[in-house]
Chain A
Amino acid sequence: MKDESAFGDYSTDEFGQTDLVSNHTVFKDQHYYRALVRGHDLPVETFSSFIHEATHHWCFISPVGTALSLLYLSIAKKVLRWLVTGEEDQLKEALDDRAAFDIAVRWLRPLSEGLAQFAEYDVLPPYSGPLLSPPLTATLTHLFNLPRLVSEAPENDRTPAFYRLRDDINRWRLSRQTIERKSELLLQPIAVERSAYLLGYLTVKQLWRSAQRFYKELKDADVFLMFIRKLVWADYSLVAELLDRRQPGLRRGLRFGQALHRNLYAIRQMNFDEDVPWSQWEELLGASMVKGPSPLNAADPRAFAGLDTVELVAQGRQLQLEYFREAAEPFQFASEEFPFPQTYFLDLLSERNLMWLGQMDAKWESTGPKVGRIVAEDGVVYERFNLTQSDDRDLNDLYLDIYVDLYSEYQLTTVGNERGVFGFATREELSDAVKSDLMKKRLDRSQTAKLTALIHNAMQTYVRDTNYGEQLDKFWKDGGLELLNDSYLGFAFNFNDQARSAINENGLADVLQNDGELVRGVSAITLASSAEMSPEEMVLTCADLSLDPQEIVRRVRELWPEESLPVASINPDGFLISAF
């Protein structure tokens, strides 16, 4: 992948980045994933980055994520048309849409990062229960070969495999690297204009703690992850607020933010718990694992609607379909000077379900007519590869792109060269429907990345010459930013004003007397608390770090009086607890 730096809007961190528009993920540690082509297991340290980015991917393919992508592509199409033809008639609408897009993305950012970090630090394979989120399923299946572990157990019981993987993940979480990464999170500023990370993470964490009081099943962090995603990212009433062009863009953005806040409030209050039995939630959340028939609902085949949002949900679905038709229309303004592929927009939308893990170089060695072996630096990758869509004349240098589909649970490697992609291989036997779907896709990420960069630049070029930036700044300065912070701050501290005022620009640093070692100790306890460990278990798990949880808890007790929001404590049953 030669050009992957400039995308429309993305979630980015030290692991990599996931582009909201194309759902293209670029990992910084992508060399690890080359082992997947040969079916090898990956080291446990890949857990954090994979599940973090997979969670972004899963959110971005939701109804709200897809709506944002469609909105962006609609704007892009109008701007490209202007670039090629000079016609300005659609630009006002494009700018208006852009305002709705930018505000909504910023409003979602804390939640987006909060969920990804919650997956990274709190989600574990379950002790029991049928639900498993797509990011966790993909992590266990593709990185740690869950099917093989299960097949080794008597009667294909997955429980022993889950116990083993829980232990591996817990040991990784209590390693120095993860403890220090979590420490960095706890030291982030709390205001959204400085950082979205701690604010988002604490919001998700407190909502999780609160939700367990209503449904015991939500004690499982992975099930809660599915639950909160469904109630926010899969809510078509938010899609309706975002895409309804009868409202000006700024207002659409604001209404989207208010609706998001309402949904978070609903999760905290859970006024529906007595009317909706858990079995109904289980059915709805489990339905997300059924293969989706179209790019619009790959991970959410069943729409979710609250009792009071049925109409808005119907409107959101209708609007999304209209935007999809608009975006999927071939781009007809390409010319010799501007050779933009007509099907770019449809290609991008139809490939958003695939998560790209990286690329590797390889060589072609012919062994017969249209048959050959594919060889990488460290040996043969495919011994007998049949060419069905290309001949082998002049075939030499190749590149292999590695993907997983989080929603249909398969792994895919495409084979291509500078002329494009001409074949693919999978380790699993794919259904005819999936094969047929794959054959229709272009699967050329280099091209997608290049064209998406071009679109992004075109948008920037246009926006730069308008007063759009000033208008948006004014929106945030005139109360937007305050509202955005207020949308999260109450939840993040469980409406405990004293706790809220103690955490500021330096996160927990001031509370913990700027003592780096104490911060590390507290971070370790927060991680051990999610794994339901006792102090003794924690010491055994990270014996090499010489941590003394009892002493850390004693020190924190003197520094943090808020017992309802514990930083590091021990409950009456002798287990470590933390709200952070």
Chain B
Amino acid sequence: MEQIRVFGLSRLETLDLKKQFPEAEITFESVGSDVHQAELVTAALVGVSLIGLQALAAWLMKNREQEKIEKTIEVVQPDGTRRMERFTFQMSKSTSQADVVKALAEMTKVDVTKLLQTE
């Protein structure tokens, strides 16, 4: 399964998201194991599925007051290859979670139709 690697998603926020999206697969990785690294700033890995993208969208939209979502994320392919992407999304009062999911899917080049068929 493809994964989206993202910084800033905390373990506590993940518990909240998992309550809303129990099927979402979110794990954490340590950023290096040596003493030079910040350990409270860990990277979260969100499994790419419709639920996973919905959970990610819900988190990105957590601050509804913001005008724009800007986040650097990394798409990790099943074979381990990675590519960095800059996700930007202009928010408005009418923005729905589905809009952000669609934009995330486009950016990560994930076929939402295919996801819908498998879930």
State the A residues within 8 Å of B (CB).
Answer: 9-10, 12-14, 17, 102, 105-106, 109, 180, 183-185, 187-189, 193-197, 506-507, 509, 514-516, 519-520
Contact = CB atoms under 8 A, between A and B. Distances in A.
A9 B34 CA distance: 10
Given A195-B30, A516-B16, A106 B11 contact: no
Interface in B1-31: 10-13, 15-16, 18-19, 30
Interface string B41-77: 1100000000000000000000000000000000000
B117 interface: no
B19 A14 contact: no
B46 to A, nearest CB: 16
B63 to A, nearest CB: 14
A571 to B, nearest CB: 27
| Pairs A-B, 6 closest by C-beta atoms | A516-B15, A187-B11, A516-B16, A195-B39, A12-B38, A183-B12
B116 interface: no
Given A14-B40, A102-B35, A187-B12, 20 more contacts: A9-B35, A13-B39, A17-B38, A106-B35, A109-B35, A183-B12, A184-B10, A184-B12, A184-B40, A187-B15, A189-B30, A193-B30, A193-B33, A194-B39, A196-B39, A197-B39, A509-B11, A515-B15, A516-B15, A519-B15
Contacts of B41: 13-14
B5 to A, nearest CB: 17
A13 B40 contact: yes
A302 B62 CA distance: 53
A421 to B, nearest CB: 29
Contacts of A14: 38, 40-41
Nearest to B19: A516
A507 B14 CA distance: 14
B12 A519 contact: yes
Nearest to A518: B15
Nearest to A196: B39
B35 A188 contact: no
Given A188-B40, A194-B30, A195-B30, A516 B35 contact: no
B12 A197 contact: no
Contacts of A183: 12
A194 B15 CA distance: 19
B18 A514 contact: yes
B11 A188 contact: yes
B20 to A, nearest CB: 10
B36 interface: yes
Interface SS majority for chain A? mixed
A333 B13 CA distance: 53
Nearest to B34: A106
17 contacts: A9-B36, A12-B36, A102-B35, A109-B35, A180-B10, A187-B15, A188-B11, A193-B30, A193-B33, A194-B33, A194-B39, A195-B39, A509-B15, A514-B15, A515-B15, A516-B12, A516-B19
Nearest to A7: B36
A183 B15 CA distance: 11
Contacts of B38: 12-14, 17
Contacts of A184: 10-12, 40
Nearest to A194: B30
A516 B15 CA distance: 5
Query: Which of B11, B19, B36 has the most chain A CB atoms inside 10 A of its CB?
Result: B11
A35 to B, nearest CB: 27
Contact of A515 (B19, B34, B39): B19
Contacts of A105: 35
Contacts of A109: 35
Contacts of B40: 13-14, 184-185, 188, 195, 197
Nearest to B11: A187
A14 B37 CA distance: 11
Contacts of B37: 12
Contacts of B18: 514
Nearest to B38: A12
A180 B11 CA distance: 10
B12 A520 contact: yes
A507 B41 CA distance: 16
A509 B16 CA distance: 12
A102 B34 CA distance: 9
A17 to B, nearest CB: 8
A105 B37 CA distance: 13
A514 B16 CA distance: 9
Contacts of B10: 180, 184
A300 B107 CA distance: 57
Nearest to A520: B12
Contacts of A10: 36
A197 to B, nearest CB: 6
A193 B13 CA distance: 23
Nearest to A512: B15
Contacts of B11: 184, 187-188, 506-507, 509
Contacts of A180: 10, 12
Contacts of B19: 514-516
Nearest to B29: A194
Nearest to B10: A184
